[in-house]
A = this chain, B = another copy of it.
């Protein structure tokens, strides 16, 4: 059953059965392999053709000046951009006199398969060269989850019907030429030849290159070694220049004979370590990998994934496409987060150069909730990374005239790197978002060591920021003016409700944590008066309310603004930011992405059920979803207010975001936060899972076409298994001591003795909210996704209709 133009629907695989060069860049992102430490885009082995070549190392970036035609105090002067580092994926093939290049000759068959349980990318090609030689090429590529510095490739070629002379050139290539990034502000910037050579060497089948960046002064090394199996008479040569290391194998192959190379790749990088230390480090990593061997690496990989799927698998019955997309999503979230180890998770993971490789607030707000409950160690590592940049955030706060810490809106290394100030500097909510993740992690794990060592200081410094950013007015209201909330089609608003509610949570959490750990707090300079001032600010936090409309305004003035003229906005003029000036978006009621609706998810305790339904109905017709972060939140709240089919439609949009390239920029990398949104839409949406004040609550409810939803979470050293059907829910404690949870408002006691089954109560539901014309999600009815791309012909690269 092939429903997708490029990919078949399979339970545990993404399977491509033909090669479409128009969407090559998108498939390079889809087939990217990573372990959070190193990342290889799914470029073809032979290097060309490519959509966008990409090899990335977490936090390996170059600085670039941020230009301003008219500057201002406190504007970041220097940006950071992820570097496309030495490409070790390349294995070129010469068939007689002709290079293997799918653009020439005849491509008889092409298959690529991302195996989500094996953790490898397979490729099989049958090709006839322009001079009539038939060959078969098979390759398998992996980035090891267990040996984080290591990637490996098995590559084999065999002639089909006649004897051919084969030359394989396995390479390391630095400073590849890159295509122009175009004008879309969401794409990354390109630096020509960012790497300066320091060392190059080949010895037998091993090659090594060491480079450094010019401005950021980071050093990196890439090394390769090979196991080669081929016919008698095969010859091997090696050579190197500063930017290329090459091992060439030449052999005459008769039909039935094969030439096979196992290529082991190692990467190492540092801002501190010397050239020889880096060289030694990668040579050592190579030795370990060779000693494990190709089969050993495959076995480790499968074992690692077995463990992951055991605790993280979600089953959804009745929608094979969503099931596949969900597993694809979880696999990529795992790839982005599992071995980052105190480095950030970029918005695109390590799958592409989009957003310059930066990390934003969505790491904490979108990605961490899933990691906390499936891979809590990885979640802690991300927060440890934030903590490691605290000195920079404190310095930034000082520069801005504020106390505490002001974390950057976007960054790789911790410095503020946003050149667009209304969305950047003023988007202070990121500080409360980090604090929220800290609290969420601690409540879900009871990791007190983390709380004392990392968490408390993050809470304290962010609380200090809020206390100095807001002020108590004469009416005793604590106001936070002039900030940018999540919705980037508003800016510099007063009392953004999301920001104020999250700041309130931040201030409260800091006060509570400081009281729990008085000694640590005192070491951070916290005194009783300061704690009291946080509590007072939290208590008096001003939350505007529009009594005439009976809804919560996104900010003080939002509901008094003119509603965007949706009727006269052409459907191909989205995303609006590419067709309308910001000043006009800012002054009207139009929402780029869930803002007040996100507040209702994360701070649902601050709204009644009736308010949630009314607010959701108000904001849906204003929300254009020009951000990939929006639909999953809309799915969660739609489910909560009982709009289950709408939630399901949003779920599908989230699930297919990258597989269908719905935002037209999958070429620049996958949307990690959107991928993880599939998990959120199911677990927080249809599962109704919330964690407020340490209490774990569920309120499951399924849309008609989903027969069954089952998922697992790790919570306070327990494993809980939840199975939902149309009528009832079964809660099982798989592992761990007894625990109280909530089901649709009722308290339940869970133990490993037996599962608890509860019926799903009915809910009164209003009419289905509408969206702006042309912006409703595609209805998920016939179990096939009418790809929206065909309606929106304004971007450069498209999926085939």
Q: Which residues of A contact B (CB under 8 A)?
A: 66-74, 79, 183, 185, 399-401, 418-422, 425-426, 471, 473, 479, 481-483, 491-492, 494, 556-557, 560-562, 577-584, 586-588
Contacts and interface: CB of A to CB of B under 8 A. Distances in A.
Nearest to A474: B548
Contacts of A588: 481-482
A481 B490 CA distance: 12
B79 A494 contact: no
A494 B561 contact: yes
Contacts of A400: 581, 583-584
Given A72-B185, A419-B69, A491-B492, A482 B581 contact: no
Tell me which of A67, A561, A584 has the highest count of chain B C-beta atoms within 10 A of its own C-beta.
A584
A183 B71 contact: yes
A580 B73 CA distance: 6
Contacts of A584: 400-401, 482
Given A561-B481, A562-B471, A587-B482, A581 B73 contact: yes
B426 A562 contact: no
Contact of A67 (B68, B421, B580, B587): B68
A749 B557 CA distance: 51
B419 A581 contact: no
A426 B585 CA distance: 12
A16 B73 CA distance: 37
A400 B581 CA distance: 6
**CB-based closest 4 A-B pairs:** A482-B587, A69-B419, A67-B67, A74-B581
Contacts of A578: 73
16 contacts: A68-B419, A71-B185, A73-B578, A74-B582, A399-B581, A401-B580, A425-B583, A479-B560, A481-B560, A481-B562, A482-B588, A491-B492, A492-B492, A494-B561, A556-B560, A557-B557
Contacts of A74: 580-582
Given A471-B562, A481-B587, A494-B587, A73 B577 contact: yes
A482 B473 CA distance: 24
A72 B581 contact: yes
A471 to B, nearest CB: 4
Given A425-B581, A581-B72, A492 B183 contact: no
A560 B494 contact: yes
Given A67-B68, A72-B185, A473-B560, 9 more contacts: A70-B185, A70-B420, A73-B579, A399-B581, A400-B584, A479-B560, A494-B557, A494-B560, A556-B557
A79 B481 CA distance: 33
Contact of A69 (B79, B399, B583): B79
A532 B185 CA distance: 43
Contact of A72 (B482, B561, B582): B582
Contacts of A420: 69-70, 72
B492 A587 contact: yes
Contact of A586 (B66, B71, B473, B482): B482
Contacts of A67: 67-69
A468 B313 CA distance: 54
Copy tally for this chain in the complex stands at 2
A71 B581 CA distance: 11
A544 to B, nearest CB: 11
Interface residue SS majority, chain A: loop
A70 B419 contact: yes
Contacts of A482: 561, 583-584, 586-588
Contacts of A71: 183, 185
A73 to B, nearest CB: 5
B582 A73 contact: yes
Contacts of A479: 560, 562
Contacts of A557: 481, 494, 556-557
A66 B560 CA distance: 35
Contacts of A73: 577-582
Contacts of A587: 481-483, 492, 494
A189 B66 CA distance: 17
Nearest to A576: B73
A494 B582 CA distance: 15
Nearest to A561: B481
Contacts of A421: 581-583
Contacts of A66: 69
A621 B577 CA distance: 39
Tell me which of A418, A419, A580, A582 has the highest count of chain B C-beta atoms within 10 A of its own C-beta.
A582
A396 to B, nearest CB: 10
Contacts of A79: 69
A399 B583 CA distance: 13
Nearest to A471: B562
B68 A69 contact: yes
Contacts of A494: 557, 560-561, 587
Tell me which of A79, A483, A561 has the highest count of chain B C-beta atoms within 10 A of its own C-beta.
A561
Nearest to A582: B72
Given A67-B68, A68-B67, A69-B67, A492 B581 contact: no
Contacts of A562: 471, 473, 479, 481
Contacts of A471: 562
A70 B75 CA distance: 13
Contacts of A556: 557, 560
A74 B560 CA distance: 25
Contacts of A68: 67-69, 419
Contacts of A481: 557, 560-562, 587-588
A75 to B, nearest CB: 8
Contacts of A70: 185, 418-420
A400 B583 CA distance: 9
Tell me which of A69, A183, A399, A556 has the highest count of chain B C-beta atoms within 10 A of its own C-beta.
A69
A567 to B, nearest CB: 14
A426 B577 CA distance: 16
Contact of A583 (B426, B560, B561, B583): B426
Contacts of A561: 481-482, 494
Contacts of A577: 72-73
Tell me which of A67, A73, A74, A425 has the highest count of chain B C-beta atoms within 10 A of its own C-beta.
A73
Contacts of A483: 587
A550 to B, nearest CB: 14
Nearest to A494: B557
A27 B483 CA distance: 44
A421 B479 CA distance: 26
A574 to B, nearest CB: 12
Contacts of A72: 185, 420, 577, 581-582
B419 A583 contact: no
A586 B586 CA distance: 15
A579 B557 CA distance: 29
Nearest to A402: B584
Nearest to A73: B581
